[in-house]
Structure 1
């Protein structure tokens, strides 16, 4: 067992998988058959896995990270062997050991020595502030030129009529997006690509295009006057155009509930979103990590566990995004889900967040005692009095309708109220995790 005497559940292990293929492959290796020399202790698990060659793969997992190493050639992180070893450990298939074997101990020792050295290291000397200021000014000038060009593109579109957007095709939008990348404004580039995907996308597309054009215009004008904006809104605008903002202020240590973890990919970059809720602070935080060239992001946390850790919040966008700083103990099991509210509470929270960030697509909320209900217009999550009763209901987003997690939620509910964490926004509610009244300590991933 780990340093707290707690083994993870199979769901927590599988939530670490970088993709469905890894999940399936890890499941096949989650039995004792291919393994030898397995053991666990002091926050680590290790084992030798028989492969196609004559030498077994050496797999070690530091559950305090978690962090992984394996001698297999896989570029996925964690690989299927690490997943299989953790599944074996979760099912009590590894024996407790006083110390790791010689082939596993050096990696564990070096990793923990680096962690201790990092904690004790003095702060790095600041870079040349004058050079940093000049670089920031040059980039700001390029973004300003990009924003002005985009304003002209939007003006031409509205002058010629929205119908011309469908005739001109996607190529012109992609060219504009490429110019925003050249201007070092990836946030503007992303909005341009979203605009290009709207024409001809279905009934009512001109209305959606006009709405998104208005929001893009608002962001352009906000950037062009960013020096006159209040501090928090200015930080949000800088984030929205694509400037990275460093964490602000001291880190926050708390017992963080790992609510959900999901990956999205555009073919070039994989983005991992991890949602956490602070038990003492009551704050919900979003960790973002990235993996390029087909590699999964390195940061991966066991969903449904509680971590004693410190996070550093970022400025802007409601101060939801944070950076991982340090973990102080091994994961502990979740004993109760996060607090929640009604559908009305969720809509109010999203509305208040929009005042701070007009470009906000969604806001993290937890709904208490809602029932998934199918309607002729799609699925809804309804308060117990909703969908025809005295309560309220929120539609499930189109993105969630296409995922198997919706059916997992319906099966978990069985017509009874459940607690659901997700993202509530103008496109509806996207469920990410749920808990039943019968098993409040068991997190069911919905992505």
Structure 2
């Protein structure tokens, strides 16, 4: 059965100002014409989604599983379809809130894939949705970053507003929320009103942008997308590496990284404003759990310093030592995600503050702590991608207000990166949160 949905436009956050941009041929400066470039406008004018139920079955724990095909849109003449798995746990504690995980190309057996998350889902007690095929690919013979970079270059070449691939990627997430609401209301007699959205890499990028324009997103957990405030990020890559990371070579190929790095802060290109979550930060007021690997080769070790403190509270970091762009410690990630979801729903998120100074970090919290650790890595250069992170146990002290104080002081004159991990005990959950990494440069750098 094919179901049509007509509930998209009323939920988008309005954008009061139309964005104007310069249509440029790549690496050219000359202005040729003016047009609007708006993610919200694309979402509003890209049609209504439809879905088909491909299968439904009971889960191994007595819950219910649905597999959908969602048609989110037709983008530049190409129909976008997504496999969507919906797992309703047997122990359904939360009906108004759910978790939506955005990921890439669908596996051959989506049912078996989502069953890998069964224990996690049952422990959360909320509907858990996996959205595959963000983006649809291959298109034009390209996938992933190569495809995104190509579409950004085509936008700069043609000025056609629907070229940036992030737009249909966000549309895919919003369409899925529409379809999931419709399906569960009909099949399970409840309706998810709020979603925690999470996704990794370019799906983390998409997570930020979706949250900025759809108020159904009540919390986000973007993973390994440590690239907000793109102009400063590109400049910092040149400072630390002397060149742009090889991992973003698809963007360098079209001159995009160079163009962004050379951006005048007072004249940020409209394409950057349209796709960089940093320029939507006023709308990112929901709880945010930013998940990063310390050795992610896409970014520099302290990329988060360029945006973290500019995001509206509440915002948390979970920086995982010795992890790269693919987080392998899934058990700890989902443990923290579960606690973040439950505490965000209950409006009972932990309180953590920290200060950075020339000698290290001081962290303050009223929360009960299981332990505190200081993590650090040293490097002969500012390139920490292959540096090994080590930990030491930190003493937890009490101040005059009864709050816990954790100090982590640097003890080397080498290039040093450091962060503090707190193991928090709250409302029956034990989970880790961290500071963001701080780099202390060797004298003379």
Whether TM-score is above 0.5 comes out as no
Q: Which structure is higher in strand share? A: 2
Q: Which structure is higher in helix share? A: 1
TM-score for both structures, normalised by structure 1: 0.25
Larger Rg: 1
